[in-house]
Structure 1
């Protein structure tokens, strides 16, 4: 594969429908903007519709806005119903939205905020929309993970919601590890169907609003040093865009920046932690996620 994959390599997207969560700012904005410029009909699935509308006004092409609050299963179900009504087919579902290093908070459904938003919210949305992707050849589910999936990361099945003690970094690591385990398990379940694939990506160290909850002791050094090891949101979005559009992509792959430490650089195939490939844990996480969200996937689970 080429090491210099850029925005110019995005194939023509006319006739394709792409849903991008968290698309009003940062990585999601850039992902949606580039897809729309290549001709895709893009839906900005965002919590704040006013911000989403302002973002859409800055884009060129067929761009619409859908209210989606990933911290609420009620909102996710409502958004999925709207999207299903508006789009008989979906080509790309890009699970991009996320929160990082937040103080301990819970979602409307009582889930720890980072796990609930980054993993459970996207798990539920994907399950509710998947039958719109399955009939579409070349359709993809792209879920954005992070370098953070390696940092203090484990799936704490005995305390998924961090009720006994709380670590901002550990909770983020769990959520981002869950994103990868979800992608790999989804691909295993999709493989017999032969149409839709699941792929993961990470943006490296991108300078976006995602870092706004970084603890105060780290925030000032991060601000000073950011230009040395981070990249802009437009570059950070490229691994996601490659995972979503490169014809050579295969289900179950993981894309990230190719530079030192995967912090920045052109998007390329990267590897994830051994924990992310734990088959037993992934199947357990899937079952728990179904139980917590009440969402099951329209797949023949016997065909494994």
Structure 2
């Protein structure tokens, strides 16, 4: 089995990798910090199981290029886990002029996933998105799906977590086996790059958060459970399907989001 996992050097991603390390013959690990990854992965046996690629989800062109390299080197991928993400100050832009929260949590993962679709079997492969109950946060502007004019950190984050579910829904409509999940409120370095107020709120509430190991349980469940034991297109919480918000159930919104995102990718040359 070949598994691609983003965000593998910390939190839920690291716990997923450690727990299921022997479950896969090959791990494809796109990471932002190569040095950090190499030092961390020394704790794992049989290093030949690992194939590390350097990329930054906020750089869409680079993500697209790395995805093309992965596709060339790995013609078949059994599980693709879009785990990496983050919360950033409202209005912060990438070098390509995109909202940072939008790029890292939605468009970067979409660029990666879209490029790798030829390596994913509609019958046997799984695509997994780590979303959040934050997808229920109100305030989405349906006329600004690319989040060009968002200034609220919290609203933007809620929007992209909704997008994770919608992207999964779109892929399901195209015949793929795709799932999204809420890992729980996990005590990690999440939010370290956001604004001071949001950071203070996260820190004040972390006493109630669960461990990364506990937070990885639903991801691990989706990877290990045979396809016939899963509900395709479902949103999972505590290893069970859960009803999403009304917006997350909209097939037309999923199609519109995917189409608008494809237009943005095209403008970037991806």
TM norm structure 1: 0.80
Please name the residue that 1:151 is paired with: 137
How many residues are paired up?
Answer: 263
SS in 2 for 1:143: strand
Query: For residues 131-210 of structure 1, what are the structure 2 equivalents within 5 Å?
Result: 131-134=118-121, 137-158=123-144, 160-163=146-149, 165-190=150-175, 196-210=176-190
Q: CA RMSD in A?
A: 2.1
**2:2 and 2:24 in contact (8 A); partners too:** no
**Equivalents in 2 of 1:74, 1:145: separation in Å?**
23
Please name the residue that 1:75 is paired with: 62
**1:155 and 1:177 in contact (8 A); partners too:** no
**Equivalents in 1 of 2:90, 2:198: separation in Å?**
15
TM norm structure 2: 0.89
What is the CA-CA distance between 1:43 and the residue it aligns to? 1.7
What is the CA-CA distance between 1:55 and the residue it aligns to? 2.5
**Equivalents in 1 of 2:56, 2:44: separation in Å?**
22
SS in 1 for 2:56: coil
Deviating beyond 3 angstroms after TM superposition, the runs of 4 or more aligned structure 1 residues are 213-225
SS in 2 for 1:89: coil
**Equivalents in 2 of 1:59, 1:255: separation in Å?**
29
Please name the residue that 1:6 is paired with: none
Question: Structure 1 pair 215/113, CA: closer, same or farther in 2 (3 Å)?
Answer: closer
Please name the residue that 1:13 is paired with: none
**Equivalents in 2 of 1:26, 1:44: separation in Å?**
15
1:106 maps to 2:93: yes
Q: CA deviation digits over 1:230-277, x for unaligned, max 9? A: 1111111111122222111131011123xxxxxxxxx32222111101
**Equivalents in 2 of 1:293, 1:123: separation in Å?**
9
Q: CA deviation digits over 1:263-304, x for unaligned, max 9? A: xxxx32222111101122111111101101129xxxxxxxxx
**Equivalents in 2 of 1:33, 1:127: separation in Å?**
27
**Equivalents in 2 of 1:83, 1:105: separation in Å?**
29
**Equivalents in 2 of 1:30, 1:153: separation in Å?**
33
> Which has the larger displacement, 111-120 or 28-37?
28-37
| Unaligned segments of structure 1, at least 5 residues | 1-15, 191-195, 258-266, 296-304
Please name the residue that 1:230 is paired with: 209
1:45 maps to 2:30: yes
> Which has the larger displacement, 233-242 or 215-224?
215-224
